[in-house]
Amino acid sequence: MTISIGDKIPSGNLIKVTEAGPEPVSTDSFFAGRKIALFSVPGAFTPTCSAKHLPGFVEKSAALKAKGIDEVACTAVNDAFVMSAWGKAQGVDGKVTMLADGNGDFVKSLGLEMDGTKFGMGSRGQRFSIVVNDGVVEQLNVEAGGEFRVSAAEFMLEQL
């Protein structure tokens, strides 16, 4: 079942690279008491994700924060080292938190996984964006296959 507006984000862990190395990030604590703009991409270093999706949220992070977002985060079914390297290559510089969902457990718990096997990518997360307010989904924007519109930073800004 796909997560819906008004649902609580499922408990689980994502992984973030810190100066001390990879560390688990509990979804319960990460989303508690804050308003988070989370977006998911099918894969780090992939064309649309690198040319439009992540750069849009980096560029609009201050505008999102001005509209009440406490933190902007990106997730993908990639390992934490790939997410960290992609963030550095894209110049996220603290504007976007890079959270790895290496096994795809988080997107599966949301019901937002996709089958990328015909592209050699295995099981991945769909392209989407979510505004989570104190652990509860306030906005949910899931792209139709092959599209990039409703999960963009600009679209989220219009909704806030």
DSSP string spanning 74-116? EEESS-HHHHHHHHHHHT-TTSSEEEE-TTSHHHHHHT-EEE-
Residue 55 is part of a domain; what is its CATH number?
Answer: 3.40.30.10
The verdict on residue 5 lying in a domain is no
| Tokens (6 digits) for 57 | 């949220």
Q: Which residues are catalytic?
A: 49
Would 92 be classed as within a structural domain? yes
**What pLDDT, on a 0 to 100 scale, did the predictor assign at position 134?**
98
pLDDT on residue 121: 81
Give CA–CA dist 79/120, Å, rounded: 16
- Alpha-carbon span 65 to 131, nearest angstrom: 12
Q: What is the pLDDT of residue 17?
A: 94
Whether 67 is in a domain gets the answer yes
Residue 72, pLDDT score: 98
pLDDT value at residue 122: 75
- Is residue 2 situated within a structural domain? no
1 is a domain residue = no
Measured distance CA(96)–CA(41) in Å, rounded: 13
Domains: count for the chain = 1
Q: What pLDDT does residue 95 have?
A: 97
Tell me how far apart the alpha carbons of residues 104 and 107 are, in angstroms, rounded to a whole number. 6
Domain contains 69: yes
Q: What is the pLDDT, as a whole number, of residue 146?
A: 85
In a domain, 106, yes or no: yes
Per-residue pLDDT of the chain (160 residues; tens, 9 = 90+): 799 999 999 999 999 999 999 999 999 999 999 999 999 999 999 888 888 999 999 999 999 999 999 999 999 999 999 999 999 999 999 999 999 999 999 999 999 998 888 887 878 899 999 999 999 999 999 999 889 999 999 999 999 9
Assess if residue 98 is contained within a domain.
yes
Domain that holds residue 136: 13-159
User: Other C-beta atoms within 10 Å of 61: how many?
Assistant: 20
